[in-house]
Structure 1
Amino acid sequence: MALKQYNPTSPGRRGLVLVDRSALWKGKPVKSLTEGKRKTGGRNNQGHVTSRGIAGGHKQRYRFIDFKRRKWDVPATVERLEYDPNRSAFIALITYEDGEQSYIIAPQRLAVGDKVVAGSKVDVKPGNAMLLSQIPVGTIIHNIEMKPGKGAQIARSAGTYAQLVGRDRGMVIVRLGSGEQRYVRGDCMGSIGAVSNPDNANTNLAKAGRNRWLGKRPLTRGVAKNPVDHPHGGGEGRTSGGRHPVTPWGKPTKGARTRHNKSTDKMIIRSRHAKKKR
């Protein structure tokens, strides 16, 4: 889908660049595949803000997406492509031959009327899903499971994809968009193709209010605060915030490594930080 650029008829229109969604379904989603979604305002069950910068936003319904694709060898037809407010990618409504319907993440080049199927080994076509051990080396994939049957966790966002680059002892080697190469079990599922809506990265919202519609509140920079409110605060005149950028609670940020769960390090062949270390 193309990008839409607007004439500067008002300050809020100047610079506005959005994705053209005219080809998507204009009606409501399938009611049985959705549920109501409550806003939290970033607050926990005690009313304390635990995630800053969250509030408001347009009312949304959550669409149930089939990330597991375990209905094997039953062909399905793409009924329509839809917008999903809960994710950056578009979704596709598919109807199986037995009449069951479900939503899947829509890959690029998937069109209304196309047939998709999931199985242990199926045709290598956009939208089809199969075991990673059966996918040819070099194939572009998305919706990749990390544990068999858990559902896809890797490459689900708009325009993202990974590449299957090899096999080794019942595992497959996957190169992620970050440059990381890692092992994934061969009995995990993956879908063929790259995720739809790659132009999402090129949009420009043009005004703060449009971010508020998405549920995002403004965040004050630490250097603009007082010392009592932030480690970067205070100082005479305009200061940059010191040598080591930290969060309001003193944790290193802006590039400092904070990853502590090392249980999957053995699955990583090449770190995404490999270039930075040299």
Structure 2
Amino acid sequence: MALKNYNPTSPGVRGLILIDRSALYKGRPVKALTEGKTKTGGRNNKGHVTSRGIAGGHKQRYRIVDFKRRLWDKEGTVERIEYDPNRTAFIALVNYGEIDGKASVAYIIAPQRLAVGDKVIAGKKTDVKPGNAMELASMPVGTIVHNVEMKPGKGGQIARSAGTYVQVVGRDRGMVIVRLNSGEQRYIHGNCMATVGAVSNPDNQNQNLGKAGRNRWKGIRPLTRGVAKNPVDHPHGGGEGRTSGGRHPVTPWGKPTKGARTRHNKATDKMIIRSRHSTKRKG
């Protein structure tokens, strides 16, 4: 998808750069594949704010996306590519025809170069074409994939955001070695499913929303810098004149932030071959 630039006819449009979604389907989603979605405003069941910076936003319906791709050896046809307000990637409506006398359709994450009318299929081993899904053990080394499972049957968890992908780089004792966008290399079980291709909408990161109001439409509230607060409200607060906040940036509750590593005791750490922190990436 291309980017759209706007003439500066108003302050909110000056510098505005958005994704051109004119090629997407313009109607409503399939009702049977959607469900209601309530907003929390970042509050828990006691009404206390547990996630700051969340409030408002446009009303949305959740699209039920097939992350598992376990309908094996049943070819489907891409009917349309749709916008999904719940994710940065586009979604594709796939029609599998009749199964047990009932029409079967499903949403999948749309990969790049997937067009209306294309055929997609999932199975233990399939053709290496965008949109086809198969077990990682059957993927040729070097294949670009997305929507990768971490446990067989759990559904895709890795590389689901716009423009992301994972590369299969090797095999070892029933496990498959993959390289993530972050530079991390890790083992994944060969029975896990993955979909061929990179995720659609790679230009999502190049958007410029142009005004704070567009972030509010997304449900994102403004956050006040700690250095702009008083000492009673934030560890960075107070001080005469302007200050930078000190050498050790922390959250309002005193926990290290801005790059401090918080990951520990993860069950999947043993699957990591090379951490994304092991070497500085060049680029």
Q: In which range does the TM-score fall when normalised by the shorter chain? A: over 0.9
Residue number in structure 1 paired with 2:176: 172
Q: Secondary structure at the match of 1:209?
A: helix
Residue number in structure 1 paired with 2:15: 15
> Where does the alignment leave 5 or more consecutive residues of structure 2 unmatched?
none
Distance 2:66 2:228 in 1: 44
Distance 2:164 2:117 in 1: 24
Q: Secondary structure at the match of 2:157?
A: strand
Distance 1:41 1:264 in 2: 32
Displaced runs of 4 or more, over 3 A: none
Distance 1:16 1:48 in 2: 35
Residue number in structure 2 paired with 1:272: 276
**CA positional deviation for 1:262:** 2.9
Residue number in structure 1 paired with 2:80: 80
Residue number in structure 1 paired with 2:42: 42
Residue number in structure 1 paired with 2:192: 188
Distance 1:187 1:115 in 2: 23
Q: Secondary structure at the match of 2:58?
A: coil
Residue number in structure 1 paired with 2:5: 5
Distance 2:122 2:175 in 1: 20
Q: Secondary structure at the match of 1:218?
A: coil
One-letter code of the match for 1:152?
Answer: G
Q: TM-score, normalised by structure 1?
A: 0.99
Q: Is the 8 A contact 1:74 1:97 kept in 2?
A: no
* Structure 1 position 92 matched with structure 2 position 96: no
Distance 1:60 1:263 in 2: 34
**CA positional deviation for 1:276:** 4.2
Summarize deviations over 1:197-241 as a string: whole Å, max 9, x none.
000000000000010000000000011001111111111100000
**CA positional deviation for 1:126:** 0.1
Match 2:125 to one of 97, 121, 126: 121
Q: Is the 8 A contact 1:68 1:152 kept in 2?
A: yes
> Cα RMSD over matched residues?
0.9
One-letter code of the match for 1:179?
Answer: G
Q: Secondary structure at the match of 2:137?
A: helix
Residue number in structure 2 paired with 1:244: 248
Residue number in structure 1 paired with 2:266: 262
One-letter code of the match for 1:42?
Answer: G
**CA positional deviation for 1:275:** 1.1
**CA positional deviation for 1:75:** 0.1
Q: Secondary structure at the match of 1:100?
A: strand
Determine what percentage of the aligned residue pairs are the same residue.
81
Q: Secondary structure at the match of 2:279?
A: helix
Q: Secondary structure at the match of 1:87?
A: coil
**CA positional deviation for 1:266:** 1.1
* Structure 1 position 135 matched with structure 2 position 139: yes
One-letter code of the match for 2:55?
Answer: A
How many correspondences in the alignment? 277
Distance 2:117 2:265 in 1: 44
Q: Is the 8 A contact 2:67 2:156 kept in 1?
A: yes
Summarize deviations over 1:12-46 as a string: whole Å, max 9, x none.
00000000000001010000000011010000000
Distance 2:115 2:280 in 1: 40
Distance 2:62 2:13 in 1: 29
